[in-house]
């Protein structure tokens, strides 16, 4: 199973605010993410949230993902609401970056050091001479 993706709020006033989003994303999840709004957004966010610590600005913090809804966040700063609206696309972006980092080329020489032969060295030298 994929590890959760932790996303912190960048605002200095909310430096202890974070949310862990499920690391497994399907194409169906991605489509749903862009289709949902209002109460459906909160419901989808709750299904993808593994853990959270969301400061509400009144000295309290939400640590139960079940409270991620309009009522549970009624006292939260609009900055936090906007941040929560961005965490799912950020999680998908981070997940995709991990996929790119783990991709391997399927070439027979993958990982082998590049060797120069007299023929390739001469071709490179000749091309440099003509260009210069």
Q: Between 69 and 59, whose confidence is greater?
A: 69
Q: CA-based angle 69:72:76, to the nearest 5?
A: 100
Mean pLDDT, the chain, as a whole number? 83
Confidence check: pLDDT of 103 > 50: no
- Whole-angstrom distance, CA of residue 17 vs CA of residue 119: 60
Dihedral sign for Cα 80, 81, 87, 89, please: negative
Rounded mean pLDDT, 99-113: 53
In order, the DSSP letters of 41-75 are HHHHHHHHEEEEEEE-SSS-EE--GGG-STTTTTT
Q: Sketch the domain layout of the chain as residue ranges.
A: 5-101
Per residue in 64-102, pLDDT (tens digit) is 999 999 888 988 999 999 999 999 999 999 988 865 544
Note the residue count of the chain: 132
**pLDDT for res 118:** 59
Mean pLDDT across the stretch 127-131?
A: 51
pTM of the predicted model, to two decimals?
0.72
pLDDT band at residue 131, thresholds of 50, 70 and 90?
low
Other Cβ atoms within 10 Å of 40 Cβ, number: 11
pLDDT at position 24 is 93
């Amino acid at each position: 199973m994929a590890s959760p993706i932790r996303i912190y709020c960048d605002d200095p006033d909310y430096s202890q605010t974070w949310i862990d989003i499920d690391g497994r994303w399907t194409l169906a999840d991605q489509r749903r993410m862009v289709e949902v709004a209002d109460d459906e957004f909160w419901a989808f966010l709750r299904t993808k949230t593994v853990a959270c610590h969301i400061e509400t600005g009144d000295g309290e913090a939400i640590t139960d993902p079940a409270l991620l809804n309009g009522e549970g966040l009624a006292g939260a700063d609009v900055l936090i609401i906007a941040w929560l609206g961005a965490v799912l696309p950020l999680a998908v972006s981070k997940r995709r970056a991990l996929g790119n980092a783990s991709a391997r080329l399927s070439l027979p020489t993958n990982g082998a050091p590049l060797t120069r032969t007299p023929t390739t060295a001469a071709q490179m030298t000749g091309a440099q001479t003509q260009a210069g």
